[in-house]
Structure 1
Amino acid sequence: MQALAWRMRRQHLLAGAADPTEVVRTLAAVSVFGSDPDLSVRRRLAAPGTPGEVQRALADGRLLRTFSFRGSVQLMAPETAGVYLALRSAGRQWALRSWVDHYRLAPDEWPDLRAIVREVVASGPVPPQAVADVLARHERFTHLAKEFAEPNHTFLKPFAWQGDIALGPDLSGPLVLQSPAAARGWGGVPDLGVAGPRAVLDYVDAYGPTTLEHVEHWLGGGLSAGRKRLLRWWAEVADDLVEVDVDGEERWHLASRLDDLVATRSEPTVVLLPGKDDWVMGPGTHDTWVVPAGHRTAMTRGANPVLVDAVVAGTWRVRGDTLEVDVPASDELAAEAARLGSLLGTDLDLRTP
């Protein structure tokens, strides 16, 4: 299908990107938990290098990781992360009555608390205990020291959403905190009025042709941006969008990308991706255009998808030195299996039904 072929190319699955930052910037965020972020990113690189590329990019500041989409931890590009964090913090969760009562912290006290946290993590990465030690000496915030001493992720998240902290670069090490400014290119958290329309356009750019419902899934369900805001932002960017017909369904595409879409020609492809990859999670497992209904449960549970001509057609797994794939053999599958073995640094024997 022409439209999905364009999306595959845009998401670097047919022509690889130059570096991990470009991949993550295109996708907006790459999940750390329940997936294999290194495989997701390296499958999209023109020169995928060796396993551990994502860890190296985090260590030298080309990527950052923080709490963002779906309340989980994501890899993000430093220069665009603030756009999505602005949306996530728009709901001002810390101002809810339940938060105020539970943490004994009024909304107007957050700026002073945030300033203390920023000062501590500026010299990071530091363990959360370092913040706890400072708060324990602060009369007003002493009672909150325990939220850092025994890290309470629920309490830490609003600091991340407002750009005060990010998580340290070590994917496998203990939890440590640092300033997001430790990542090269960190652009800060922009005003919501600027961030909202940009996030909408970036989604359409990466996941088009698409619909408003898909935008609501990604930015509403993923970041709790709020339907009214999304409708307003969608209206604000309407002049940058063009309506296209995809198999009789009305969808929307960036006007500036229309010529590329029209020029795209589909070709037989097989792609093996890790579970929870953005190809599936971006539009959502309920989107039967990408995930046929019969595969939805497996995708929701995090099985590794096999894409045949850009659509989920089955799953794959590695057992020892054997790659088990539950779709029929083809030349395209054999080539992709060899590519997966190269990415994993091992020789794999392919087994099909």
Structure 2
Amino acid sequence: MAVIDLPVDRVLAWRATRQLLDRPAGAETDTVVGRLVGVQAQLASAAAQAVAARQPTSQRGTTAAALAAGALAKTWAMRGTLHLLRTVDAPSCLSLLAAGRFWEKGSWQRSFVTVGQLDAIAEAAVSALDGRILGREQLTAEIVARTGDATLAGHLTSGWGAVLKPLAWQGLLVHGPADGNRVTFTRPDTLLPDWPGLPDPDTAADRVVPAYLGAYGPADAETFDQWLSRGGWKRPMLRGWFRRLVEAGELVEVTVDGRPAYARAGDVEEIAAAEPTDEVRLLPAFDQWVLGPGTKDPTVVPPARRSDVSRAAGWIAPVVVHRGRVVGTWEARDGEPEVTLWPESPPVPAERLDAERERLRSYLKGVGDA
């Protein structure tokens, strides 16, 4: 069977619809987070805005409400960064990360703690968090007391949470309800009564790979791995997931402007028929439109402008998107979105940009928590 070649403009048009950038009716908060296979939440306000940018009417407070209702979980997930995940999706995403056993690498142990120490931390944390919600300092004190290892305190109080991330990936710990500016932690089965535990990695891959391609595809296995773990997975296992899904008929091999990729079998006709529009979107910092394919994807971020988007200390700038491509950046100053369009980019329809700026202005000046 001949491999179908899909034009990149149609791919981007299809992705925009799949990522709900057309703002359809019924785009509830958990629906948006699920479709995107998680929303990066290092910055809570950016995560809330990423959801609002995909809803017919942008509102504040919806992500906080979904967290409080147990529809979403907040935990360290893809690429070791804090994410909002739909509760029903979190076990599969975490299973793939846990199966990588990244904390067993010598370089990780030399920088942080040994595997033996981490096992002791995990055992102590599971006991300490049973039916309880603890702040970082409280959890640190409990773990140090239970392990008898005072050297762990410095690692546990680090704001980066390096030694707690493996616990999150193993489904032993999630972020608890916000307590002002204080971070809290608890066990998933304490916060989420229906928590099922983690599936085996192959079962998880059968769920997560198609979900990823349903929002960011077509894509190759290496792009998926960059999104999942910054390229940490062993290639044979990674490619085996894709090969098994192809053999099952769920995925097909395609090309995008000649570049090999995979797509969900049921999506190919829709992608080929997708029509680009002139819609303009102002998307927040760390938006999944950029993070899903990665800032190195030249079809989304022009290579000459990558440093304008991917900045120092891991900051991903708020972006202006037209016809699926990043054409500039913006920043908020006193509730006013100030837009910088790149002069080399194709013309952006002024009236559509003005309408998007007005929508964002209303959101930024809104009342209530993000």
Do they superpose with TM above 0.5? yes
Instruction: Kindly provide the amino acid, as one letter, of the partner of residue 342 in structure 1.
Output: S
Match in the other structure for 2:52:
42
**Alignment match of 2:127 (pick from 92, 113, 119):** 119
Deviation of the 1:26 alpha carbon: 1.7
- Secondary structure of the 1:288 match is coil
Residues in 2 aligned to 1:338 and 1:184: alpha-carbon distance in whole angstroms: 41
* Letter in structure 2 aligned against 1:318: A
2:157 alignment counterpart: 151
The change in CA–CA distance for 1:144 and 1:58 in structure 2 (over 3 A counts) is: farther
Within-5 A mapping of 1:238-257: 238=246, 239-257=249-267
Q: Which residue of 2 aligns with 1:88?
A: 97
RCO comparison, higher one (Cα < 8 Å, 6+): 2
Deviation, 1:184, is 6.6
Q: Hey, what's the Cα distance between the residues in 1 that align with 2:72 and 2:233?
A: 24
The answer for the alignment partner of 1:303 in structure 2 is 317
Distance 2:164 2:82 in 1: 12
Q: Are residues 115 and 341 of structure 1, via their aligned partners in 2, closer, same or farther at CA, if it must alter by over 3 Å?
A: same
Structure 1 partner of 2:287: 277
Tell me the equivalent position of 1:326. Answer: 340
Query: How far apart in 1 are the matches of 2:155 and 2:255?
Result: 55
Counterpart of 1:44 in 2: which secondary structure? coil
Aligned residue for 1:195? Answer: 204
Q: Whole-Å Cα distance in 2 between the matches of residues 200 and 270 of structure 1?
A: 29
Provide the residue aligned with 2:82 in structure 1.
73
Q: 2:295 touches 2:306 (CA, 8 Å); kept in 1?
A: yes
Partner residue of 1:313 out of 304, 321, 327: 327
Letter in 2 for 1:221: R
Residues 101-112 of structure 1: matches in 2 within 5 Å?
Answer: 103=113, 106=116, 110=119
**1:349 aligns to what?**
none
**TM-score normalised by length of structure 2:** 0.82
- Map Cα deviations across residues 56-110 of structure 1 (whole Å, 9 max, x no partner): 2222222111112222211111111121211222232444456778746638x93
Give how far 1:259 is off. 3.3
1:178 matches 2:186 = yes
2:168 aligned partner: 160
**Structure 1 residue 113: deviation in Å?**
5.5
Call closer, same or farther: CA 1:332–1:97 in 2, change over 3 Å.
closer
Distance in 1 (CA, whole Å) between partners of 2:321 and 2:104 is 43
Q: How many residues are treated as equivalent by the alignment?
A: 340
Give the 3-state SS of the residue equivalent to 1:331 in structure 2: helix
Gaps spanning 5+ residues in structure 1: where?
347-353
Letter in 2 for 1:205: G
CA distance in 1, matches of 2:51, 2:89: 17
Amino acid at match of 1:194: T
Instruction: Indicate the RMSD between aligned Cα atoms, in angstroms.
Output: 2.8
User: Which of 22, 28, 32 is the matching residue for 2:37?
Assistant: 28
Distance change >3 Å, CA 253–CA 127, structure 1 → 2: same
Please list every run of 5 or more consecutive structure 2 residues that lacks an aligned counterpart in the other structure.
1-8, 342-347
Higher mean C-alpha deviation, range 157-166 or range 333-342: 333-342
What does 1:134-149 correspond to in 2, within 5 Å?
Answer: 134-138=142-146, 141-143=147-149, 146-147=152-153
Q: Which residue of 2 aligns with 1:344?
A: 364
Q: 1:52 aligns with which of 53, 61, 64?
A: 61
Q: Is the 8 A contact 2:18 2:215 kept in 1?
A: yes
Amino acid in the other structure paired with 1:311: R
Q: TM-score, normalised by structure 1?
A: 0.85
Given that 2:20 and 2:27 are in contact with CA atoms closer than 8 Å, whether structure 1 keeps it comes out as no
| Partner-residue secondary structure (3-state), 2:267 | helix
Cα distance between partner residues in 2 of 1:67 and 1:27: 16
Mapped contact 2:136–2:183 kept (Cα < 8 A) = yes
- Identity score, percent: 31
Whole-angstrom CA distance in 2 between matches of 1:38 and 1:330: 26
Q: Following TM superposition, by how much is the alpha carbon of 1:171 offset from its aligned partner in structure 2, in angstroms?
A: 8.1
How far did residue 321 of structure 1 move?
5.0
Alignment partner, residue 350 of structure 1: none
Mean alpha-carbon deviation: is it higher for 80-89 or for 167-176?
A: 167-176
Task: State the Cα distance separating 1:175 from its structure 2 match.
Answer: 1.9
